[in-house]
Amino acid sequence: MSLRLDQLLADLKPFEGRFGMTWRIALLCALVAAVAMIYKIPEPAIGCYLIIYLMKQDASTNIALAIGATILVTVFVALVFVLTRWTIEVPFLRLAVMALASFAFVYLGSVSKLGDLGSDMALVITFALTLVSDAPLGEVVTRGLLYAWQMVTMPMALMLGFNMVLGWQPSRLLRTTWRERVEAAGQHLVRADAESLARLQALLREGNAEHDQRALLTRILHYVPKRVSSQLAQAIEQSYALLLAVSALPDTVTADERARLAAHCERVADAIATKAAIPAPEEPPAAAGDAALQAAWRALREMADPNPVWPAMPQEPFFAADALSNPDHQRFALKTTLAAMIAYIVYAGIDWQGIHTAMITCYVASLGTTGETVHKLALRIVGCLIGAAMGMAAILFVIPNLTSVGGLMVLVFLAMLPAAWVSSGSERISYGGVQIGLAFLLTVLQGFEPGIDMDSARDRIVGILLGNLLVYLIFTRIWPVGVIVAVRKEVSGALASLSRLASMPRDDRRALVNQAAAAVVDLRQASDQLAMAHYEPSALRPATAEIRRFEAVIAEAEPLAASLVLASAGNPDEAARLARLSTAVATAMSPDPADTPQTLDASSAARVTASERISRIENALVT
């Protein structure tokens, strides 16, 4: 309990950019609420939910999301309108269209880069279709589907305009990431303690994919000149190479060599902060003897290149490789749709429209594995209680004194500050912040004006709890997916990336770094999944021994990425062993044991060879 409390307090601590993200989300939610009230757009809480859930740090990503969501909902509303013309008078057919639309969007989000945006679109479309149940045919567009279009496009239009004026430029965030990485490397060179190593590892586990996307959008949207965008893109790769090299420095590197490298890292970080020219190393990398030391100096030298070249970035496909072959995607969409349809049938059947939040909950609380879903449900319940308490306090003490839309904007802004602070933090707690904001808004924004009806607030809380119950029962009873399935997938993918890394030619350093980053990110995701294991029901929870086994594999595989990048040549034998391990993990088969001890002495960790680490992984996976 103490450990979890310490983790919670750590997740709530400020970091660079967190307050900026917080006030931007809060202000944009206030604007969305005001526009919805003035122009009578239904369910303003859903519009604010889209903001707090989808808003990212950099303006370019938010602009792309806003445009993409608008196009997507426009196309699908037009399609559903055609279908609705023939089903509006037949309740069963209308329910079938709702289920079809829900399944299509949730499935699309599961198998593509849309991710949670797919479930959000399913929520908006399906909820809008519930509004047309009593409307004559001629009013379908204005009463239902047009509402769905407005509920998405209005907040997305505001998000687009807001980010064009007040958003953070991606080039600024790239420069911040670059500086943080160089500073972390320099600090670890000087201190070499557990705290500096933890910071180094945290930055490594971020990978480069998100930063590469920012660099690409920076170039496409012409935020900065092409030479600067090329410099930033190259710096992201070279700063990651620097982190890998520093993390692999052996104890044989002298204190003087470490101090010299740390001093240059400090000079580079200062230059990045002031946007000055990056100083070139005083010594060529060849002057260093160790491979990791050479790689660190080489990365710093390439950062100082006055004529940077736009790097070749790995292109990830839009759709997942197993989009059609993995039944878990279809099952996830079916389970989410089933929960939502049951919720709709329940509140429509008993004519209790106040608990329509049950259906909303089914879309926003569903995740791929049971552990993730239960964790999200726990965050949702806690966030619901906090947000509802804030909303009821506002109903009792604030709303009766409001006399204008401006007063409502101030109320929403102040209430969204703590919600946005939590949502902009670690993934362990971020959804709790989303739920605090949503519960508050659902309680306070009733219809087209601030609500003072406590019964309505009560009904919405009951709906949230009902939705939580439905999601829990369905996701733990029908085709339950344990976290160990996701762990095996991520670890198998990481080992496959390490296998490719071991066989790649050494002349393409950028490709080596990108492959290592992909492996480390997969391992971090596997570790995150393992942390969800204790949320699973006992029937699904993996055995403690299996959890420990995968923790050992992750602990050995993570530093293996740096070892393989620094190797002087590819090793087909190591590549083949890693490929076999990847297959064994994916198929839940036990590999042959190796003749290397399973324990690793911390003092000699830096001197362990790649082959020895692979042997330890083989031993750890033996059942």
For 31-55, the DSSP string reads HHHHHHHHHT-S-HHHHHHHHHHH-
Q: Which residues are registered as beta bridge partners of 319?
A: 112
Report, in angstroms and rounded to the nearest whole number, the Rg of the chain calculated over CA atoms: 26
Alpha helices (runs of H) in 504-571, residue ranges in sequence order: 509-531, 544-566
Tell me if 609 sits within 8 A of 563, measured CB to CB. yes
Rounded to the nearest 10°, the torsion over CA 379, 380, 381, 387 is 110
Q: What is the pLDDT of residue 439?
A: 86
Contact partners, residue 456, CB within 8 Å, separation at least 6: 354, 443, 446
Distance CA 181, CA 211 (A): 13
User: What would the two tokens of residue 353 be?
Assistant: 């429209």
Distance CA 585, CA 591 (A): 9
Q: Taking each helix axis as running N to C, give the angle between helix 44-54 and helix 405-423, from 0 to 180 degrees, rounded to the nearest 10.
A: 40
Biggest alpha carbon–alpha carbon distance for the chain? 82
Q: What is the pLDDT of residue 604?
A: 39
Q: SS3 helix, strand, coil % of the chain, rounded to 5? A: 75, 0, 25
Distance CA 87, CA 96 (A): 9
Contact partners, residue 32, CB within 8 Å, separation at least 6: 44, 47, 48, 51, 154, 155, 158
Tell me if 514 sits within 8 A of 507, measured CB to CB. no
Distance CA 19, CA 92 (A): 48
Tell me if 244 sits within 8 A of 204, measured CB to CB. yes
CA-closest candidate to residue 241, choices 494, 571, 607, 561: 561
Distance CA 65, CA 160 (A): 9
CA-closest candidate to residue 320, choices 329, 311, 312: 329
Tell me if 382 sits within 8 A of 544, measured CB to CB. no
Q: Do the bridges between strand 449-450 and strand 445-446 make them parallel or antiparallel, or are there none, so unpaired?
A: antiparallel
Distance CA 6, CA 262 (A): 31
CA-closest candidate to residue 477, choices 374, 380, 389: 374
User: What would the two tokens of residue 509 be?
Assistant: 């350093």
Q: What is the pLDDT of residue 435?
A: 87
Q: What is the pLDDT of residue 594?
A: 53
Q: Could you tell me the pTM of the whole model?
A: 0.85
- pLDDT < 70 regions, the chain: 1-4, 83, 87-88, 131-144, 283-289, 314, 447-453, 589-608, 622-623
Tell me if 282 sits within 8 A of 288, measured CB to CB. no
Alpha helices (runs of H) in 221-321, residue ranges in sequence order: 226-247, 255-274, 291-303
Q: What is the pLDDT of residue 607?
A: 46
